[in-house]
Structure 1
Amino acid sequence: MSHRVTRMEKRDPVSRQGCPDDGRRAFVRITGTGREAIEQAAPGHGRTVRRLVLDALTADEVAQLGGIFHRLRSRLGLSTG
């Protein structure tokens, strides 16, 4: 996995950040270049997810889902901003 991430870093779709708590781990984050590549590779994906998932939920359920994702990200040590 490390070799694959290194190769991806060279093409700039991801960046790697060391984990402050464990030197053996790293956080891999998508870059602007990576997000753009995903959007180009899957046009309409966001619209499809919205139509199939989010549009089926009430505003309260969407808020609950956001809270769940926020808690999970916090537990994993990911930024929530």
Structure 2
Amino acid sequence: MMADFFASGHAADLILAVLMAEALWLRLRRGWHWRAVAALLGPAALIVLGLRAALTGADWWWIALPLAASLPLHLMDLSARLAAPPKP
């Protein structure tokens, strides 16, 4: 049963749904700008998409593309955090 859950990619779908709920919470409840939400959660979502591709037996490039695309978003988030003044 769990093997089918993972082999079908539904485990990754569940993680993506949780990430979407977190994005909505950050945007609507905490007032974050969509760019900040995308910079924070985008890399995770892309990595999970790569995981989903791997779990479902996709070609290697379907796995590699989202993993490679996660790096620019991660660097965008990192640069914004390093440029922000430190919090007391």
Q: Give the TM-score, by structure 1 length.
A: 0.27
* Structure with greater helix percent: 2
Of structures 1 and 2, the one scoring higher in RCO (CA 8 A, sep 6+) is 2
Q: Specify the structure having the higher radius of gyration (Cα).
A: 1
* Structure with greater strand percent: 1
